[in-house]
Chains A and B, each alone.
Chain A
Amino acid sequence: MSANGWAIHAQGLTKRYGSLVAVDHVDLEVPAGSVFGLLGPNGAGKTTIIKVLTGLSDITEGTAHVAGYDVRRDPMHVKQRVGWVAAEVILDDDLSGWENLWLQAKLERLSDWKGRAEQLLAYFELTDRRKDKVGTYSTGMRKKMEIALALLHQPEVIFMDEPTIGLDANVRRMLWELITGVNKQFGVTVLLTSHYIEEADVLCDRVAIIDHGRFVATGTPSELKGRVKADFVEIETSEALDPARLRAIAGVTDVRSQGNAWILRVGSAEEALPRLFHALQTDRIRRINVEKPSLESVFIDITGKRIEQAGSDVQDYRKFYLNVRRARR
């Protein structure tokens, strides 16, 4: 652990792919033993941050220390101390579950790993499938296997890229407990990325909201929520709508469009809704959604967009399965 108490400390961290700036001068301070969340929409740069912090990808500019070592100067020391859970679930499908653990132990140079591997298998309820090729595992089993691999060498810092994407509610809750458990019992620092507002809210001590490679807000979930002194009303109508009419409604302080929907910033949704219904013909309203202060409304407040698009779960699943399919064949 780093002497000054940071498990992860980065300054001006920047990653460019050609002319595209995937991560743009990010400052990151994650205290040892905490859970830190990166929350942001697709393409915001969350995965890229993990790649540069773990030494998988070269840092274009800036400095980063992880688990007390300089990522640029001592990448091998960093790698010995970090665990990683990829969003797309990366396993060797031609090998069995046990062989995947064995290979991981070899790569981490562990001498005494079998007992721990057995316990991880038992914990994830994979013991009776240990001899089957992981290519025959279900999506959830694969994800659990991947997390078992990440925990095998007892990392000091664990990076989890969308750890619960595509999992059913039970497994998701089990993973939440696991993440909290690993963090609280053993002081393992966790950096996770998520699209799920609720997940970041429940799990993280601190959250950074990221958009276009930049941190647009950082703080504890309640600090961030406290920052937004407004509610948001998202409204979708069947016909084109003149934004001036929306702006004219008393209590509406801002109007932004997103796709075919409008996002209104209002003092209090309870007071604004009746006026809104009065101003618009109600039968033209196709959908209406109220966002009380949440991490989502923090993001809306700053960027004018939602992190979780309407129906985003569907998209997430599609992306997830595409990734899994790609990884499989």
Chain B
Amino acid sequence: MTTANPTVTLRATVPVRADGRVGQFSQFSGLYARELLKTFRNPWVIVITLVQPFMWLAFFGGMLSQVSSAQLDEFLLHAPAGTSYLSFLLPGVLSTGMMSIGMFGAMSTIQDKRFGFMKRILITPTSKATVYLTKALGSATRGLVQIPVMIAAATAFGVTLHGSPLAWAAWILGLVLLGLGFSALFLAITSSSTDWQTPGVISNFITMPLMFASGAMFPASIYPPWMRAIADVNPVGFSAQLSRSVLTYGQFTGTDLTYLGYLGLFALVMILAGTALASRYLKVE
């Protein structure tokens, strides 16, 4: 030990009792910043987030790129001349991607429980609601990374994008709300779990059906009635419609505004319900 007189050193460091406490936002911003730091420092997180939607475009789009334009026209309905399947698919893939990023938030929460870090957080005067909200927000933020890359990739595949800046803002807002809503949902369902498998299992139960019954990959008009019934209340579908309206057809109509409102409601309800659930059931370990 090199410190000659440790007690003196320590005494010098101790000011009057810590009354200088700042507001609760400090906990929120700290935990949210931690989520971002951990995400953006980990190259694999970025790779996975980016590669997945890119693969959709490459494989799904590639598969259908040989279909004749007459067939596609019939299939895609009302598409302006020259609309490729890729430009139809891109908005759907982005929406689907925003749904599945919810799983990452759930996984990072389970990791924190497993490695005990949740104990370190909850032994401080931090509420479970704060932990929950920062995880949901962190997870949704992470999903946003997909957007610029997908757009770049789509342009590289020869897709022409439409839409005014304002319409784009509405579209991106829709994606954020969708990501928030699903992150909140996944986190709420897994808040009492400590099992690595849970997010994957839940994801399969939620993501798969909602992806196919959304109109994200194919127009909902070709669905059988039961699938269309799901599509009618499926937030992924609303986001896909909104995105397609803006990106593919270059419009932003009253219907799209309704979609946006619906997405906002979805996010709000999920966050409120999830916060209530997590405050009660978020497990420490």
Contact = CB atoms under 8 A, between A and B. Distances in A.
Interface of A: 54-57, 76-77, 79-80, 82, 84, 86, 88, 90-92, 94-95, 99, 102-112, 115-116, 119-120, 122-123, 125, 149, 153-154, 170, 173-174, 177-178, 181-182, 184-186, 326-328
B30 A120 contact: no
Contact of A99 (B26, B37, B114, B122): B37
Given A56-B119, A106-B26, A106-B29, A112 B20 contact: yes
Contacts of A184: 7
B21 A79 contact: no
List the 5 closest pairs (A to B, CB-CB), nearest first: A106-B30, A181-B7, A107-B124, A119-B13, A90-B116
Contacts of A103: 30-31, 34
B123 A82 contact: yes
A109 B284 CA distance: 21
Contacts of B125: 76-77, 79-80, 107-109
Question: Which size class do B's interface residues fall under?
Answer: 35 or more
Given A123-B6, A170-B1, A185-B10, A109 B122 contact: no
Interface string B164-175: 000000000000
B123 A181 contact: no
B117 A109 contact: no
Nearest to B38: A94
Nearest to A173: B1
Contacts of A95: 34, 37-38
Contacts of A54: 123
B24 interface: yes
B116 to A, nearest CB: 4
B166 to A, nearest CB: 36
Contact of B22 (A56, A76, A111, A326): A111
B27 A106 contact: yes
A123 B17 CA distance: 20
Which of B10, B17, B22, B127 has the most C-beta atoms of chain A within 10 angstroms of its own C-beta? Answer: B10
Count chain A CB atoms within 10 A of each CB in B1, B114, B127 and give the residue with the most: B1
A184 B18 CA distance: 19
Contacts of A185: 7, 10-11
Given A56-B122, A86-B119, A170-B1, A109 B34 contact: no
B126 A107 contact: yes
Given A112-B20, A326-B115, A327-B116, A92 B34 contact: yes
A112 B15 contact: yes
A84 B20 CA distance: 21
Contact of B124 (A79, A154, A173, A178): A79
Given A90-B115, A106-B26, A111 B14 contact: no
Contacts of B66: none
Interface string B109-150: 000001111011111111100000000000000000000000
Nearest to B7: A181
A116 B41 CA distance: 27
Contacts of B41: 94
Nearest to B126: A107
Interface in B38-74: 38, 41-42
Contact of B116 (A79, A86, A106): A86
